[in-house]
Amino acid sequence: MENISKAWDWKEVKDKIWYEPSEESYYLLKRWQNFNTFLDLGCGLGRHSVLFAENNFETYALDLSEYAVEELKTYSHKNNLGINCTVSDMVNLPYEDNFFDCIFSYHVISHTDTAGAYRIISEIKRVLKPGGEIYFTLCSKQTWSYTTAKFPKIDENTVLKTEEGPEKNIPHFFADKELIKDLLKDFSILSLSQKEDLIIKGKELDSWHYFILASLK
């Protein structure tokens, strides 16, 4: 099956969490302090792009949502951050080979099917410098939306979420450890962990994600 890409409906997103950088991004800000060119891959409204731009990284932000990118572009211009904002699909990155020192992609790469996931990793390999690092998350096959939700399946690793909200009709790719190792066969996996979210902001969840740090060989 050919890869499927569909943007979030960011006009439907009201939760302030999407304006707050994730905990992991502060660790990476420190870890990557000797890097310069940074890509926020699937930037959404730009919470991580803003953080890295404010800390003197040459920051690039990409998302499939025109609405989200325009919101970030307006904020960047108003605050003189100089973020390079682009509307594009992750499966065809509009950047030169070996361009980025580091790439951050938080709860984004899963928004495709299996063919799309492999294509995205291939594009990341192309635009990342040798020795550069990528930090990203993937949905785990242990989570409820893969195991019990009965969403329609697109392929053996992908379901189509049909719930109302910003993710309606967006494909979700789910992985396990062996699939991740195959996806990253051209990378050195520096860390790989799996986390279960039980309660976030008082709301009970049963959601598993992988958190992955890798370096291009």
Q: Is the pLDDT of residue 206 over 90?
A: no
**Domains in the chain, number:** 1
Beta-strand (E) ranges in the chain?
37-41, 58-63, 84-87, 100-105, 128-140, 153-155, 158-160, 171-175, 187-200, 203-216
Mean local confidence (pLDDT), 81-97: 97
Residue 176 lies in a domain: yes
CA distances (Å), origin 208, targets 119, 142, 205 = 23, 6, 9
Residue 14 lies in a domain: no
How many CB atoms are closer than 10 A to CB 56? 9
Res 204: pLDDT? 67
Higher pLDDT: 197 or 33? It is 33
Query: pLDDT tens digit string along 132-180?
Result: 999 999 999 999 889 988 899 999 999 998 887 778 888 999 999 999 9
Contact present, 59 and 51 (Cβ < 8 Å): no
Residue 15 lies in a domain: no
Q: What percent of the chain has pLDDT over 90?
A: 79
Domain housing 42: 22-216
| CATH number of the domain enclosing 151 | 3.40.50.150
Query: pLDDT tens digit string along 6-17?
Result: 677 777 777 777
With H, G, I as helix, E, B as strand and everything else as coil, classify residue 21: coil
